[in-house]
């Protein structure tokens, strides 16, 4: 274990404290380690499109929007080998949210995620890539 001392300006420090409180970290060190892990994982995946990973794609949409729900389902059926699971949440009378878990190479996961979140009418589209480590 190494000790790292960093200097950051007051505003960023205050934002960091709020993030720690919001995410419920027990201390600054644990929060900082998690942020570094996220950055390292994102960088590794950017460097290596063949890196095996699991991606969680999340987004919301209006299910009354013409054919959008059907197109989202079609995207998933086109990639049945990669899509592991889908969770659907009815947010309100009109709005739905979904989380889709995809496993494959970083390039494949990104491709499937991008085709879904690029659909017109999709809001808050985002993918979180998690590398699969083999010991
Ligand atoms: Ni719904």
What is the Å distance from ligand 1's center to 52 Cα?
31
Indicate if 82 and 108 belong to the same structural domain.
yes
104 Rama class: left (phi>0) / alpha (psi -120 to 50) / beta: left
Domain region containing 88: 52-131
> What tens digit of pLDDT does each residue of 73-105 get?
999 999 999 999 999 999 999 999 999 999 999
Same domain, 77 and 23: no
Q: State the distance from the centre of ligand 1 to the C-alpha of 85, rounded, in angstroms.
A: 16
C-alpha 13 to ligand 1 mean position (Å):
39
Exposed e or buried b for every residue in 37-60, given b needs 16+ CB within 10 A?
Answer: eeeebeeebeeeeebebebbbbbb
Averaged pLDDT for residues 27-36: 92
Specify whether 57 is located in the same domain as 21. no
Is residue 68 domain-shared with residue 17, that is, in the same domain? no
Domain count, the chain: 2
Question: Could you give the percent of the chain with pLDDT greater than 70?
Answer: 100
Instruction: Give pLDDT tens digits for 46-72.
Output: 778 888 999 999 999 999 998 999 999
Query: Are residue 31 and residue 58 in the same domain, yes or no?
Result: no
pLDDT at 44: 74
pTM of this structure: 0.75
User: Ligand 1 centre from 56 Cα, in Å?
Assistant: 18
For residue 66, being part of any structural domain is answered with yes
Domain annotation covers residue 2: no
DSSP-assigned letters across all residues of the chain? ---------HHHHHHHHHHHHHHT-SSHHHHHHHHHHHHHHHHHHHH-TT-EEEEEEEEEEETTSTTHHHHHHHHHHHTTTTEEEEEEEE-SSSEEEEEEEEEEEHHHHHHHHHHHHTSTT-EEEEEEEEEPP--
Q: How far is the CA of 89 from the centre of ligand 1 (A)?
A: 6
Task: Find the range with the poorest average confidence among 41-45, 55-59, 71-75, 114-118.
Answer: 41-45
Question: Does residue 98 share a domain with residue 61?
Answer: yes
Is residue 1 included in any domain, yes or no? Answer: no
pLDDT of 135 reads 78
Cα(125) to centroid(ligand 1), Å: 16
33 and 77 both lie in a single domain: no
User: How many angstroms separate the alpha carbon of residue 98 from the centre of ligand 1?
Assistant: 8
* Domain shared by 65 and 29, yes or no: no
108 and 88 in a common domain: yes
30 and 91 together in one domain: no
């Amino acid at each position: 274990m190494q000790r790292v001392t960093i200097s950051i300006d007051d505003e960023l420090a205050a934002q960091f404290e709020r993030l720690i409180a919001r995410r419920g970290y027990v201390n600054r060190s644990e929060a900082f380690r998690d942020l570094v892990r996220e950055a390292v994982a994102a960088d590794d995946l950017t460097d290596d499109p063949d890196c095996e990973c699991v991606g969680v794609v999340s987004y919301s949409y209006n299910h009354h929007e013409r054919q959008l729900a059907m197109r989202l389902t079609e995207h998933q059926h086109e990639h049945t080998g990669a899509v592991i699971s889908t969770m659907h949440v009815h947010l309100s009378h009109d709005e739905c949210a979904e989380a889709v878990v995809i496993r494959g190479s970083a390039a494949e996961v990104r491709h499937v995620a991008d085709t879904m979140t690029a659909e017109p009418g999709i809001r808050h589209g985002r993918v979180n890539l998690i590398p699969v480590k083999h010991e």
